[in-house]
Amino acid sequence: MKQKYGIREFEKQFPDDDACLEWLKDFLYPAGITCPICERVTKHHKVKNRKSYSCQNCGHHVHPTAGTIYHKSSTPLRLWFRAVFLMSTTRCGISAKQLERDLGVTYKTAWRMFKQIRSMLMDEPTKLSNEVEVDETYVGGKTKGKPGRSSKKVPVVGAVQRGGRVTAKAIDKVTKAELIDIITTNVEPGTVVYTDEYPAYKALPTHGYDHYSIPHWRKIYVDGAVHTNTIEGFWSLFKGGLKGVYKHCGREYLQTYVNEYAFRYNRRGSEVPMFHHFMAQTSQLSWWTPYQERVPQQG
C-alpha cells in the first residue's frame, strides 16, 4: 500500500527552517558528520542564526546546503521544501506562476526555484531490455505541413521498456545516426525493439536488435505484440502536461521538462510518496555523485 503523505504530514515534519536543515543534514550524513580537522565522526551542533553545524571539538563549520540547489539562496529553506512538495504532489506538474501565488514570492524567485528543482529530476542511466518501444514526437507551436519539416518544432526521441522505465531525449534533428546512437546508448543488444515504419529503424538488426515495426501509414496500430502504444501513452502524458500546465516551453529548457515527466513515469508504481523521491534528488549535488564525494565544503 502506498504511503500517505499530504499537507498535514508535510507541516508536521517541516514546521520551520531548522527542521528542514536538520533533515538535510541527516540525509547527507546518515552515519554522522566526519570532521575534516578531527579526521573522525564527531558531534556537531547547530549554529544559531546560521545554516551550519559546528564540530564540538574544534569548532569547524559544516554547511549542509553547500552543493545543493539551496546553496547561497536567501529564500527560506522551508519555502524551498514547500515548493518541492507542491511540484511533487501534482500529477502533471505545477507552473512557476502557481508557485508564485502559493509561496507568496516574486515570479523571478518562483521561476528560479522551479528551474532548480526540475533540473535535478534526472535518472541515473540504466539500459532498457526485454521488449522496448521507440518513437519520436515533435514539440512546438502550430505549423503547417509535416511536423518533421518544421524548424519551429523540436523533436524528442523516447524509448520505454514494457512494464518498466522510460528514457527520452530532445534532439536538434531526427536522423538515422542520431536515432541509432540513442538506441544503442539506452537499449541492451538482443532486445526486441518495436517502432513505427520510419526508415531509419530498419538498420536496427545490424546493431544486434530484433526489430518489428507497425505500419501506421496503413492505419494499423496493433498487430499482436507489435505496437508502440506504451511510448505513445507517455507522449500523451508529456504533451498534455506541457499544453495544460506549462503552456509554453523554451527549446533550451525542453530537456528538463522531458526529464521531469520521465522521472514521474519511472516511479509511477512506487509505494514511496513522490515527495520523498523528489527530496532525494533535490538535496544532492548531482544524481551521479556518490555520497563520499558530496561532502559540503566550508563556506
Domains and CATH numbers, the chain: 7-122+272-293 (no CATH), 131-265 (3.30.420.10)
What is the Cα–Cα distance from 120 to 131, expressed in whole angstroms? 28
List pLDDT tens digits, range 44-79.
999 998 999 999 999 999 999 988 999 889 999 999
What is the Cα–Cα distance from 123 to 169, expressed in whole angstroms? 12
Query: Among residues of the chain, what percentage have pLDDT more than 90?
Result: 69
Please give the model's pTM, rounded to 2 decimal places. Answer: 0.84
Instruction: Using the predicted structure, report yes or no on whether residue 202 has a pLDDT greater than 90.
Output: yes
CB 120 within 8 A of CB 69: yes
Taken as a whole, the chain contains a residue count of 299
Burial string for 2-15 (b: 16+ CB within 10 Å, else e) reads eeebeeeebeeebe
Instruction: Using the predicted structure, report yes or no on whether residue 94 has a pLDDT greater than 70.
Output: yes
Helices (H), 120-253: 176-186, 229-241
Beta pairing class for 53-55 and 61-62:
antiparallel
List pLDDT tens digits, range 132-178.
999 999 987 665 555 544 457 889 999 999 999 999 999 999 999 99
**The pLDDT of residue 295:** 35
